[in-house]
Amino acid sequence: MTLEMRERCERCETTELPADGPARICSYECTFCVTCGEAMGHVCPNCGGELVARPRRVALARRR
């Protein structure tokens, strides 16, 4: 299963979340910018799960 790299924050709707940029996600792949993740106390408003740093796809590809 592949992680869906969403490019839009679900809270403020910024589209500044490229696959190689910082973002926060929960286990259901709800996606938020870092600012919104911090403002919500690192808790997903959709499922109540923990928001953590999303892995950066480009950085992973460079190591292979």
pTM for the whole structure? 0.84
Q: Find out if CATH 3.80.10 is the number for domain 1-64.
A: no
- For residue 51, what are its two tokens? 């928001």
Give me Rg for the CA atoms of the chain: 11
- pLDDT-based confidence at residue 3 (cuts at 50, 70, 90): confident
Q: Using one digit for the tens of pLDDT, what is the confidence trace for 4-56?
A: 899 999 999 999 899 899 999 999 999 999 999 999 999 999 999 999 999 98
Which DSSP string corresponds to 4-55?
A: P---S-TTT------TTS--EE-TT--EE-HHHHHHTTTB-TTT-PBPEEPP
- For residue 61, pLDDT over 70 is answered with no
Compute φ and ψ for 33, nearest 5 degrees: -70, 165
- For residue 64, pLDDT over 60 is answered with no
